[in-house]
Amino acid sequence: DFTTANSYIGRHVTLDGGNDQTVSGDVSGVDVSDGTPRLIVGENTYPLSSVLLVEPGTATSTVQPSAGA
């Protein structure tokens, strides 16, 4: 479970937020304070069991040309 949770960091997930609602956002970290990994999305944490969809992260990275290129 810890390996799976860590693999979600930086990914965009859609989660079951309860009450017939879904929540989407980028996973910024994993909270293991209670011994069970929970994904940190925004200001909330969610259990791995709530994951409905995993996609590549939405953050863009830039590549700097090497010196002399």
Neighbouring CB atoms inside 10 A of 6's CB total 14
Q: Which of 24, 29, 10, 18 is nearest to 53 (CA)?
A: 24
Look at the pTM and tell me if it is higher than 0.75: yes
pLDDT band at 59 (very low <50, low <70, confident <90, very high): low
What SS3 state is found at 43? coil
pLDDT of 63 higher than 70: no
Model confidence over 1-56: pLDDT tens digits? Answer: 889 999 999 999 999 999 999 999 999 999 999 999 999 999 999 999 999 999 99
DSSP state of 66: P
- The span from the CA of 23 to the CA of 67, in Å, is 43
Q: Both tokens of residue 1?
A: 């479970």
